[in-house]
Amino acid sequence: MLHLRLITPADRTDEVIRLIDRTVGTAHLVVLPGAARDPAGDVVMCDVAREAGDGLIRRLQALGIDSRGAITAENIDLSLSTRADVAEEEAPGEAADAVLWEQLEEATHEESTLSITYVAFITLATMIAACGVVLDNAILIVGAMAVGPEFGPLAGLCTAIVQRAPRLALRSLIALLVGFAVAMAVTVGFSWVMAAFGQFSEGKLEGARPNTGFVYAPDAFSFVVAVLAGIAGMLSLTSAKSGALVGVAISVTTVPAAANAAVALSFGDTGQTVGSSEQLLLNLFGIVVAGTLTLLAQKALWATQRSHLTKPEGP
């Protein structure tokens, strides 16, 4: 269940109440006339099944509640109520399959912002992966994949394409391009420093690397895994099962490929630099394609449920 808290202009409150009453899957309606001060208006609260949440929020936006008042939604971790149980049963579909598009846009907007923290994480992840590829250490590679924050901008780009949000798309692209550019540039310098201390060497990079050689050798499986990871990642975001994102992060070769390209570039190995760059681009492309198609499929699926979200008019 979701808990909605609305600030409604006084002249819209009755219309909002009727809308909530007619929406399938709602419960626990509370109205506090004149309780809001900034902006001034009434406070209306209710609980709504996640399956019906997106439709109700969109109808509230159509009434202008977001521009003249406010719409706040939060997840309910525990609700002991028979009425809430009935509301969830009445709502079409399953809560785990429901997509809250406004919540998704807000989450991906935050995750796709180019910030100092984002650049620090992707740079640290790339440096850790650099140690992994030189030492042929799969544990370091997995750790670097888990640290890397690049799925946020990728998800933001997928969401922007589906929702036709050019500003979010531009923000996501900037975060991806600048993030990887800075991370790789710093890793080149890091590689030179490690080489000066005798920790990195061209011999280690060129030697047999059975555990990490895949990062500069893209093939069909690279694209297949990226597509599967893109689907899993978007499903985990839209269903609020964020724990699956860790598995997604360590299943694609983005950060390790960027790290290998940077280390190879520092030693002048153009072959591995090109191969790693191709691996990186292939993975990014696969995730974006799969994530976008997943969101389009979910949008089409829930479009068929909209007619079941409104209760029939009474006699």
The domain that holds 7 is classified in CATH as 3.30.70
146 & 79 share domain: no
- CA distance to 62, 262, 290, per residue, from 233 (Å): 30, 27, 9
Distance CA 42, CA 70 (A): 11
* Residue 314 covered by a domain: no
135 and 248 housed in the same domain: yes
Whether residues 151 and 23 share a domain: the answer is no
Q: What is the pLDDT of residue 249?
A: 62
* 87 and 112 together in one domain: no
Burial of 47 (0-12, 13-18, 19+ CB in 10 A): buried
The answer to whether residue 307 sits within a structural domain is no
Is 315 a member of any domain? Answer: no
Give the structural domain span for 62.
2-97
Q: Report DSSP state, residue 309.
A: S
Q: What pLDDT is recorded for position 283? A: 93
Residues 76 and 170 in one domain: no
Cβ within 8 Å of residue 206, ≥6 positions away? 269
| Cis amide bond preceding 210, omega within 30 | no
**Do both 274 and 161 map to the same domain?**
yes
Asked, for residue 243, whether it belongs to a domain, the answer is: yes
Note whether 190 and 245 are same-domain residues.
Answer: yes
Residues 68 and 203 in one domain: no
The answer to whether residues 135 and 282 belong to one domain is yes
Is residue 309 assigned to a domain?
A: no
Looking up tokens 């997509």 gives 99
For residue 309, the model assigns a pLDDT of: 59
Asked if residue 47 and residue 146 are part of one domain, the reply reads no
Q: Do the Cβ atoms of 36 and 10 come closer than 8 Å?
A: no
Domain boundary among 97, 126, 153: 97
- Judge if 108 and 142 occupy the same domain: yes
Tens digits of pLDDT across the chain (315 residues): 899 999 999 999 999 999 999 999 999 999 999 999 999 999 999 999 988 888 899 899 999 999 999 999 998 888 899 998 898 888 877 766 677 878 788 778 777 889 999 999 999 999 999 999 999 999 999 899 888 899 889 989 999 999 898 998 999 999 999 999 999 999 999 999 999 999 999 999 988 889 888 899 898 988 999 999 889 888 888 875 555 555 566 667 899 999 999 999 999 999 999 999 999 999 999 999 999 999 999 888 777 665 555 665 544
3-state secondary structure of 253: coil
Query: Pairing state of beta strands 70-75 and 2-8?
Result: antiparallel
Q: Name the E strands within the chain.
A: 2-8, 26-37, 40-48, 70-75
Residue 73 bridge partners (DSSP): 4
Instruction: State residue 105's pLDDT score.
Output: 80
Q: Is residue 143 part of a domain?
A: yes
What tokens were used for 28? 């626990």
Residues 154, 297, single domain; the answer is yes
Question: What is the Cα 63 distance to its own chain's centre?
Answer: 28
Residue 10: how many CB atoms within 10 A of its CB? 12
